[in-house]
Amino acid sequence: MIFSIKILAIRTASILRIFFLICIISWSVSYNLFSQGIDDDKDLPVDTSEVVNIIAEKDWDLFGKDDLVRLSLMMDIKQFQRGKNKPEYQDAILRIYQDDSIFVEKKVKIKPRGQFRRSYCYFPPIKLNLKKTEFDNEYMSNQTTMKFVTQCKNANVYESYLLKEYLIYKMYNTLTDYSFRVRLILMEYVDTGKKQKVFSKYSFLIEHLNSVSSRNNAVVIDNEKLSQKMMDQFVMGQVALFEYMIGNTDWSVPGLHNMKVIKLMDFNKPEPFPVPYDFDYSGMVDTEYAIPIEELGIESVRERLYRGICLPETVTKEVITHFVKRKNAIYKVVNDFQFLEKRDKKNMLDYLDSFYRVLDSDYLVRNEIRKSCVEIK
């Protein structure tokens, strides 16, 4: 009897040891599964990309956001600067960063661009050629070239010039979709030449004209014999009043000087739409190299001059009403911008104040705009 009890006790202890061993193994397997990110319900790897804010290349939105983008260009800087007078493409590597990691790295071709700035600037604007560069991104893969506006010279004032011009593009975006979108860049330049220097400057990227026309269901009209009279009256009035607002006289529809033209694929809107760009000669930016042409009769680019054609009074009133309605949005562009010095922001806001004082006065509208408009026979 005692012997049977001992046998039973031994068997019971063995069973208990096996049970506890199974429990320990089961717990260990469960722990390892959870530690590897396995979903308890589906037994599949958990996608943690949202947690670390990883964006797939195909989903990267270049102009849909306003936050600062960090890029780098690996290039022979001496070769780039030597090519200012006779621009030719050279090899470079473009890197796009996300969360301090290289997000995209592509081989590209670059060259200096811009008629005046190419000769004047120590570091002129850059044109990227992407014809032989493959991207896993719908927007990027559809681009043949991209344009970067760079800090012209090393002095701090040239940084403020660049940032103010960037904000002018953003202001015009608040008025209409028929405009060039821009994206602010912190560009790191990595010299692959002898000096091997590395430095960072602000820059901004300008949307390609094909993208402007595509998202507006339009086509590009490349005809230098066009005139203001041929344009849609409201849009032409909007462009002319905007150029007046920022104090820019360096534009023209004939010859397409700092102006592009698109035509909507809409039979109800047959007239073309002008799309302005390049605002560094404006009074609002007030660069040290901006000098008005003598024929205009103004002494400084800070002095406004309306250069639009004379439009029906009803159209002019409609355009002015639109600017008044968008006033808060225009001021918000400047007030919310964090990268510009306070004195420069105040200077821009004061200049806007003087513009809206004109719009608030029928007398000033008559004398500053209606009397200055160009009569077209």
Q: State the total domains in the chain.
A: 2
297 and 187 within one domain: no
290 and 195 within one domain: no
Q: Is residue 267 part of a domain?
A: yes
366 and 221 within one domain: yes
Give the mean model confidence (pLDDT) for residues 153-164. Answer: 97
Q: Is residue 270 part of a domain?
A: yes
User: What residues contact residue 365 under an 8 Å CB cut-off, 6+ apart?
Assistant: 316, 320, 358, 359
332 and 263 within one domain: yes
What pLDDT sits at residue 75? 95
238 and 293 within one domain: yes
85 and 144 within one domain: yes
Q: Is residue 155 part of a domain?
A: no
Q: Is residue 272 part of a domain?
A: yes
Q: Judging by beta carbons within 10 Å of its beta carbon (0-12, 13-18, 19+), is residue 98 exposed, middle or buried? A: middle
314 and 183 within one domain: no
Q: Is residue 46 part of a domain?
A: no
124 and 99 within one domain: yes
Q: Is residue 156 part of a domain?
A: no
Q: Is the pLDDT of residue 7 over 70?
A: no
- DSSP 8-state assignment for residue 312: -
Q: Is residue 93 part of a domain?
A: yes
Helix, strand or coil, per DSSP, at residue 314 = helix
With DSSP H G I counted as helix, E B as strand and the rest as coil, what are the percentages for the chain, rounded to 5?
40, 20, 40
133 and 252 within one domain: no
What pLDDT sits at residue 4? 44
Residue type, 202: Y
What pLDDT sits at residue 139? 58
Enter the tokens of residue 125: 């604007």
Strands 182-191 and 69-75: parallel
Tell me the percentage of the chain whose pLDDT exceeds 90. 67
Q: Is residue 50 part of a domain?
A: no
184 and 124 within one domain: yes
Q: Mean pLDDT over all residues of the chain?
A: 84
Enter the tokens of residue 78: 């001496």
355 and 227 within one domain: yes
Q: Which residue's entry shows tokens 């050629």?
A: 129
Q: Which residue has the higher pLDDT, 267 or 165?
A: 165
Q: Is the pLDDT of residue 16 over 70?
A: no
pTM of the model: 0.83
333 and 283 within one domain: yes
Q: Find the domain containing 102 and state its range.
A: 69-150+179-210
Distance CA 240, CA 235 (A): 9
